[in-house]
Amino acid sequence: MIRTLRVQGTVLAMAAPLLGGVLVPAAAQADGPGPRTKPKPHGKHAAVVALRLSGPVSAVVPGRTYEWTFTMTARGPGKSGQARFRMRLPKSLSFVSGNRDCAAAGWTVECDLGAVRRGRTVTGAIKAKVSGDARPGQRIGLRGTVTWGRAHAARAFPAVRVGEPVHFGHSKAAPKKPQGEKTKAKKPAAKKPAAKKPHAKKPRAKKSAAKTPAAVRRIARTG
């Protein structure tokens, strides 16, 4: 004779001989997968580095130089690591200088920030000149990347647009003449001969005749 018993969700099958005997429990089988085990931690946590970027607030003018700044913070968990900053310039910008051992190779600018300890913040700046061929309204977008040991972070600089070029002179360009109209060369005006001034003749001095006194004339008449 076979009897089944349910004890706390487990089904037990018991078999007993017909002539009396001891009930023998059958082997229990669990339905479904067993309990999940938590994954083991993979050693140390990955290093973390933060990056902040800033650039010109207003529109940039062709021919002028502007500054783009970056700030990196080493947040650990490592104690120290070598840090570098990189950015790629578009054709509308040309590298001028940098205050953190920066150098340009082609269109890529790289700054060596040296060994940076955990918790330390390093700020740098890169100066670039706007090309004279940059079109007004053109959008300039830059992206910077910082590495600290094995950690790295990348962000985009605030976008900026190219403004109108500044003209220092106030002179206006002469109006263009329509094509096909030939310009006639002006003949120089003929010079009029200068009028000769008449030579003024000096009046000759007249010799005054010596007048004879009246008494002498009387004596001459009487004699």
Q: What is the pLDDT of residues 86-98, one digit of tens each?
A: 999 999 999 999 9
Percent share of the chain, pLDDT over 90: 48
* Residue 182 forms part of a structural domain: no
In a domain, 153, yes or no: yes
Q: How confident is the model at residue 186 (pLDDT cuts 50, 70, 90)?
A: low
Do the domain assignments include residue 128? Answer: yes
Kindly report, residue by residue over 143-180, the tens digit of the pLDDT.
999 999 999 999 999 999 999 988 765 445 555 655 65
At residue 40, the pLDDT reads: 47
| Domain annotation covers residue 139 | yes
198 occurs within a structural domain: no
Question: Furthest-apart CA pair in the chain: how many Å?
Answer: 231
Tell me what pLDDT residue 107 has. Answer: 93
Tens digits of residue pLDDT in 38-47: 544 444 556 6
Task: Give the domain range for residue 116.
Answer: 48-161
Whether 122 is in a domain gets the answer: yes
Which amino acid does the sequence have at 117? R
28 part of a folded domain: no
Q: Is 216 helix (H, G, I), strand (E, B) or coil?
A: helix
Given a cut of 50, is residue 15 above it in pLDDT? Answer: no
Give yes or no for a contact between 125 and 144, defined as CB atoms under 8 angstroms apart: no
The pLDDT of residue 44: 53
pLDDT digits (tens, 9 = 90+) for 29-40: 444 445 555 544
- The confidence score (pLDDT) of residue 57 equals 93
Instruction: Return mean pLDDT, the chain.
Output: 75
Tell which wins on pLDDT, 55 or 6. 55
Task: Decide: 158 and 177 in contact? Cβ < 8 Å.
Answer: no
Strand-strand pairing, 24-25 and 93-98: unpaired
Total domains in the fold of the chain: 1
Instruction: Please give the model's pTM, rounded to 2 decimal places.
Output: 0.55
pLDDT of residue 76: 78
Structure tokens at 26: 């059958």
Could you tell me if residue 200 is inside a domain?
no
Indicate which CATH number applies to the domain containing 75.
2.60.40.1530
